[in-house]
Amino acid sequence: MTPGPSGTLLSVREISESEHLALIRSRSSASFLQTPAWGRVKAEWRRESLGWFEGEQLVGAALVLYRQLPKVKRYLAYLPEGPLLDWDTEDLAAWLAPMAAHLQRRGAFGVRMGPPVVTRRWTAAVVKDGIADPAVHRLGELPPTGRDATGARVVAQLRELGWRPQVAEGGFAAGQPQYVFQVPLVDADGKPRTEDDVLAGMNQLWRRNIKKAAKAGVEVSVSEDLEAFHDLYLHTAQRDHFTPRPLAYFRTMRDALAAEDPDRFRLWAAHHEGDLVAATIAIRVGTHAWYSYGASSTEKRDVRGSNAVQWAMIRDALAAGAAVYDLRGITDTLDADDPHVGLIQFKAGTGGEAVEYAGEWDLPLNRALYAAFDLYMRRR
């Protein structure tokens, strides 16, 4: 054990899923990748709910996924978008050292985590200007609209403590995205924004498309029909050239998330004259709402089902009291020629801001095994 922030000692031990969930509920929000339910979605990995204790009081928690090395019973302990702890501390070692010791006892040769702390933000307008400027290639070349001192202190401390940043080539690496696009649903004072205000923040094209969908008679509703979503999703995968996940994955995801909290998982469907034109999955933990998966038809694109279903999800998040609507990953490229830039443009059209997180960091616990794993990952 190491001395805690208030001079007491922090210890780490396994906790039950209900304790874990109770801690998440006591906070305004946590990443959905840190919920016990997400461990069930990733059933191919051993999982553990970890708790930090100051005396007998639970003060932090993590979902750990143990990913086994081929052939040996040693694991990479992975804490996606976690853990959930007091990142504002200047004594991060007090939190991370007992965690590393615990994970090592459990057979981990290394730890990978993605501290849920923001380092920089850029407004949609800045992003738009950056795309238009041929001299600008990456988000980092633009002055951020805001920098976060807490995030900077986390980054500085991780370096100090021997953690290694995992550089995501081109933005989408194996791990979770470092850059995401978010629409704040509260103003600077934390007061909820109105629907009109959020709508006014969108670009003209988005507003026009939302209107157009309504005029064309697109109807958006919450749906139970996962098969219909999956059919459209397979169609989208073929069109946009990505590898789709099987229907069983989404079933597990819905069942696990819904069992934890009825508001966690919501399937949305946009119909036009009986045809499914767009379908999406929304996830919410506390005040953080995510757009997770989306599918759209190639036919009837002109009725703008995708815009309609996004607007419905945003309104729903607002009604649920969410503070952030998160459109998840973007790459940091602003090159007009890069195929990823279309995704950024689409997301930036909602207004809001591009957000940089601290990214994923590794701590080697067994140098030799970690080096072998690192080499394997690079060659993959």
Partner 1 sequence: MSLTLSVDGERWRAHLRSVAETHPGLVPVLKGNGYGFTVGRLARKSGWLGVDTVAVGTYDELPHVATRFDGDLLVLTPWRPFGAALEVDPALARRVVHTVGRTHDLADLLEAQPDARFVLERLTSMQRHGLSARDLWATGRMLQDHPGVRLEGIALHLPLAQGSHLGEVDRLMNDVVAAELPTHTVYVSHLTDAELEQLRASYADYEIRPRIGTSLWLGARDALRVTATVLDVHEVERGDSFGYRSRTAPKSGHLLVVSGGTAHGIGLEAPTGDQGLRARAATLARGGLDAVGFVRSPFSIDGKQRLFAEPPHMQASMLFLPSGARVPEVGEQVDVRVRYTATAFDRVVIS
Q: Cβ 61 to partner 1, closest distance in Å? A: 25
Cβ 48 vs Cβ 14: under 8 Å? yes
Q: Is 160 in the site for partner 1 (CB under 8 A)?
A: yes
Q: Which stretch binds partner 1 (CB under 8 A): 134-142, 224-232, 272-280, 308-316?
A: 134-142
Q: Which is nearer to partner 1, 144 or 352 (CB)?
A: 144
Number of residues located near partner 1, criterion CB under 8 A: 15
Site for partner 1 in 49-78 (CB under 8 A): none
Query: How many other CB atoms are found less than 10 A from the CB of residue 312?
Result: 23
User: Contact with partner 1 (CB under 8 A): which of 159, 239, 251, 367?
Assistant: 159
Q: Is 144 in the site for partner 1 (CB under 8 A)?
A: yes
Residue 143 is classified by DSSP as P
Q: Which is nearer to partner 1, 121 or 284 (CB)?
A: 121
End-to-end C-alpha distance for the chain, whole angstroms = 37
Q: Which stretch binds partner 1 (CB under 8 A): 147-155, 244-252, 284-292, 342-350?
A: 147-155
Q: Which stretch binds partner 1 (CB under 8 A): 154-162, 198-206, 290-298, 341-349?
A: 154-162
Edge-first strand listing for the sheet containing 57-68? 2-3, 9-14, 46-54, 57-68, 75-79, 108-113, 361-364, 164-165
Cβ-based neighbours of 367, under 8 Å, separated by 6 or more: none
- C-alpha to C-alpha distance for 350 and 228, rounded to whole angstroms: 26
Q: Is 302 in the site for partner 1 (CB under 8 A)?
A: no
The tokens of 198 are what?
């959020």
Q: Which stretch binds partner 1 (CB under 8 A): 13-21, 92-100, 152-160, 285-293?
A: 152-160
Chain-centre distance of CA 191, in angstroms? 23
Q: Which stretch binds partner 1 (CB under 8 A): 146-154, 262-270, 343-351, 370-378?
A: 146-154
Q: Which is nearer to partner 1, 143 or 190 (CB)?
A: 143
Q: Is 143 in the site for partner 1 (CB under 8 A)?
A: yes
Q: Cβ 287 to partner 1, closest distance in Å? A: 25
Cβ 218 vs Cβ 271: under 8 Å? yes
Place of tokens 């200007």: 129
User: Contact with partner 1 (CB under 8 A): which of 23, 84, 155, 344?
Assistant: 155
Q: Cβ 158 to partner 1, closest distance in Å? A: 11
Query: How many other CB atoms are found less than 10 A from the CB of residue 84?
Result: 24
Cβ 135 vs Cβ 339: under 8 Å? no
The burial of 174, by beta-carbon neighbours within 10 Å (0-12 exposed, 13-18 middle, 19 or more buried), is given as: exposed
How many residues does this entry show for the chain?
380
Q: Cβ 118 to partner 1, closest distance in Å? A: 12
Coil/strand/helix, residue 156: helix
Binding to partner 1 by CB under 8 A, coded x per residue (else -) over 79-108, reads -----------x------------------
Q: Cβ 65 to partner 1, closest distance in Å? A: 29
- C-alpha to C-alpha distance for 258 and 140, rounded to whole angstroms: 38
Q: Which is nearer to partner 1, 152 or 234 (CB)?
A: 152
Q: Is 117 in the site for partner 1 (CB under 8 A)?
A: no
Q: Which is nearer to partner 1, 165 or 329 (CB)?
A: 165
User: Residue 55: left if φ>0, alpha if ψ -120 to 50, beta else—which one?
Assistant: left
The tokens of 303 are what?
């009725």
- Residues found near partner 1 in the complex (CB under 8 A): 90, 140-144, 147-149, 152-153, 155-156, 159-160
